[in-house]
Homo-oligomer: A and B are copies of this chain.
Amino acid sequence: MRSKSNPQHTGGGKNVTIKEVAQRAGVSISTVSRVLNRSKPVSDGLKKRILQAVEETGYMPNAVARSMIQKKTGVIGVIIPEIFNPYFSGLVQGIEHVAKEHQSYIMLAVSEKKPRRESELLRIFQARQMDGVILAAARVERSLKEALDRLSVPYVVIGQRLAEKAAPCVYLNNRRAAFEVTSHLLDCGYQNLGIISGPLWDLASGRERLEGFQEALKKRGQPLRAEWVVERQGFHLQDGYEGMKSILQAPQRPDAVFCACDRMAAGALQYLKESGIPVPKGMALAGFDDEELASIVNPRLTTIRHSPFEMGFKAATLLVNQLEDPSIAGGDITIPHQLVVRESTSLDS
């Protein structure tokens, strides 16, 4: 119940402090602090008066002042390369879920894949006294690793395995998954495989997926034909479209193409449709990520399913555990993935 006669309650007034509450209740500020934090027993009489004063003034403890004393802010810093991408949205969702359970909040920053900005953000988050930091980067190289070493705040890296350091990280075995999807294509009887790769600068979704593809071919003794390998500078629909166009310009045509992500596969599919090449009869297609889009296109895409949400969730859990018990600096976690076979590679559809 709010008292109508109280001006503080109308928004915009200057913030009321613990001091005013104390005065109004006729007690000292420490007593107010004690009832609010339940840190020490306080007599019922005072407690009641204080609670009422709090109610009347609409007092809320200043979280900044509190953070300063307790040396923790209850905030987790999150750095992602971009937000407009279901993969990263999923990560954030997973992190947010854990943060909420932990009564923490997240500070979100976008790096635009710029290593410099990532290092800078790491520093800024440290200066801002984040309790922990989660970094999702497309590529973690030398200078970024150094920046991580310099960090005096617990952190977890997503999407990359940091070999040398036993840094806690959560990642997906992209190489293995690409290997599996490629093997599947070979198992289906497709002999001549092409790939539309993402930028190799991106270690996880670019380079590793290409390598997995190459390894599968090598293991089966299939040749790798350079004109069927195209590296695009992005992971967008358009990249898939252009990539397929480029592949079709080769003198011969592969009978199956692995695309580094579903979005690219969808673009490739569009080009194939326009070219009158049926999928999978004329050419099979496989993607990666199992985005919603993968089951919307026609034919639906064979792809690799994995859970960005789970990655975010696991990463945040790792971090939170570390916060509660710094001794368990936690190790790597590999998120499972799964081959999902759909019509884009099944010859009998």
Interface residues of A (CB under 8 A from B): 9-15, 58, 60-65, 67-68, 73, 75, 82-86, 89-90, 92-93, 96, 100, 105-110, 123-124, 126-129, 148-152, 237, 266, 270, 273, 292-293, 296-298, 309
Contacts and interface: CB of A to CB of B under 8 A. Distances in A.
18 contacts: A9-B150, A10-B149, A11-B148, A15-B152, A63-B128, A65-B68, A83-B89, A84-B86, A84-B90, A84-B93, A96-B108, A96-B110, A105-B108, A105-B124, A105-B128, A106-B107, A273-B298, A298-B298
> Which one of A13, A61, A123, A126 has the highest number of Cβ atoms from chain B below 10 Å of its Cβ?
A126
A152 to B, nearest CB: 5
Number of this chain's copies in the assembly equals 2
Contacts of A100: 110
Contacts of A82: 93
Given A84-B89, A107-B107, 14 more contacts: A10-B150, A60-B126, A61-B127, A63-B128, A64-B128, A82-B93, A83-B92, A83-B96, A84-B90, A89-B89, A96-B110, A105-B128, A106-B108, A237-B292
Contact of A64 (B14, B67, B266, B270): B67
A266 B296 CA distance: 8
A296 B237 contact: yes
A273 B300 CA distance: 13
A149 B11 contact: yes
Contacts of A266: 296
Contacts of A123: 60
A232 to B, nearest CB: 17
